[in-house]
């Protein structure tokens, strides 16, 4: 009886072994399965591909974030726009500067600076990065800029005038370095912009001061030349002294004439006393005539009147030039105050920190999104094909 049982077991075993060693599905069977269950095949393929890509292939992405603001010396958001100096109606409250910095961060100039500091082209073109996230080594400057812009996010809080910058990179160190360099280059940009505005504000005022100083110097040299030529330090004072002397001579002549009249009343005309007084009167009258001639206006250049007229013209020119210089200096001081009010600088709010873990991509979320989009695409394509087939029938 035991022999029968053993023989029966051997027969069963030999009957099952072929099923256990059944060969894998052939290509024809696979195609038949796909035709029979197209959605299941599509879903399974997408599941495997997306799972492999987001789970194993997609490189880790590190994110460094920084925040900063553009402020003025009033310790608040910039109240007077820097760009309004160059562009009318360019904005208020420092928003225009913040917008300019935001555009600068995404500009080719910023990319060039970052590439010089961090060799971004080599970083983005590493072979260990999958082709979908790798920058081709033969990429053009435009493609390089697009690739860079896709890896930075710049947000502007218009109410607080705060810029928030998120930098994505494939290493923690490069993300940290790029965030710090962006702040540094943005600060240099704002400083350069402030300096240009300052120079534009002060240039005209400085020019007016230089012109006024030149006029004052010229008129002072002209007055010095006049004194050397005429020998008069102050023709006005000289003229006043001459007038005073002439008045004194006229008074003496008047007194002597009174004395002469008194002598003629008691003496003869040829009396010695009378002749002496007449001689004094004649001498004083000659002196008075000479002084009047020197003071009288004449076409001769060496008369005191002509010298005084020329000197008074120089004095008027000097006073006008000095008044212009005073006004120009006041305008320069006002321009300096305005330039100081317009000066801007970058104030760090959140300094960049070294990321410790890769926060991108969110692999499960990306996987689910890719599956959903694939299913939707499958449905659209399937519906379109069905519509075409119905139309052909």
Which tens digits make up the pLDDT trace of 360-369?
777 677 778 8
Quote the pTM value.
0.58
Which of 72-76, 173-177, 280-284 has the least mean pLDDT? 72-76
Please provide the DSSP assignment of 204-265 as one string: HHHHHHHHHHHHHHHHHHHHHHHHHHH--S-HHHHHHHHHHHHHHHHHHHHHHHHHHHHHHH
Which tens digits make up the pLDDT trace of 297-335?
544 445 566 666 777 788 888 888 889 889 989 988 988
pLDDT over 60 at 92, yes or no: no
pLDDT over 50 at 344, yes or no: yes
Which tens digits make up the pLDDT trace of 29-68?
656 666 667 777 777 777 777 777 776 666 788 999 999 9
**What are the beta bridge partners of residue 64?**
167
Query: 3-state class of 354 per DSSP?
Result: coil
Residues in the chain: 393
């Amino acid at each position: 009886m035991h022999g029968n049982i053993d023989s029966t077991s051997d027969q069963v075993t030999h009957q099952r072994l072929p099923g256990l060693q059944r060969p894998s599905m052939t290509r024809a069977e696979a195609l038949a399965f796909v035709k029979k269950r197209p959605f299941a095949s599509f879903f399974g393929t997408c599941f495997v591909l997306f799972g492999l890509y987001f789970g194993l292939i997609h490189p880790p992405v590190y994110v460094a974030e920084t925040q900063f603001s553009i402020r003025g010396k009033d310790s608040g958001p910039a109240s007077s726009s820097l760009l309004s100096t160059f562009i009318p109606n360019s904005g208020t409250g420092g928003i225009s500067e913040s917008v300019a910095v935001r555009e600068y961060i995404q500009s080719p100039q910023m990319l060039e600076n970052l590439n010089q500091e961090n060799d971004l082209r080599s970083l983005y073109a590493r072979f260990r990065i999958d082709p979908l996230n790798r920058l081709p080594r033969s990429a053009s400057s435009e493609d390089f800029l697009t690739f860079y812009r896709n890896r930075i996010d710049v947000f502007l809080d218009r109410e607080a005038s705060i810029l928030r910058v998120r930098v994505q990179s494939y290493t923690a160190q490069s993300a940290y370095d790029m965030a710090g360099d962006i702040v540094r280059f943005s600060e240099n940009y704002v400083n350069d912009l402030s300096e240009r505005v300052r120079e534009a504000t002060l240039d005209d005022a400085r020019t007016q001061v230089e012109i006024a100083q030149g006029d004052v110097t010229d008129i002072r040299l002209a007055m010095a030349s006049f004194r050397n030529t005429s020998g008069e330090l102050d023709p006005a004072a000289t003229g006043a002294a001459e007038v005073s002397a002439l008045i004194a001579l006229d008074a003496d002549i008047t007194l002597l004439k009174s004395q002469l009249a008194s002598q003629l009343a008691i003496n003869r005309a040829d009396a010695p006393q009378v002749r002496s007084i007449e001689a004094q009167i004649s001498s004083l009258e000659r002196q008075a005539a000479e002084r009047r001639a020197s003071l009288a206006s004449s076409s001769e250049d060496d008369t005191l009147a002509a010298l005084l007229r020329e000197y008074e013209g120089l004095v008027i020119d000097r006073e006008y030039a000095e008044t212009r210089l005073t006004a120009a200096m006041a305008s320069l001081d006002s321009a300096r105050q305005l330039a100081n009010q317009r000066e801007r600088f970058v104030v760090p709010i959140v300094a960049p920190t070294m990321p410790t873990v890769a926060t991108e991509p969110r692999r499960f979320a990306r996987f689910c999104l890719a599956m959903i989009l694939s299913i939707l695409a499958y449905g659209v394509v399937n519906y379109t094909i069905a519509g075409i087939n119905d139309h052909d029938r």
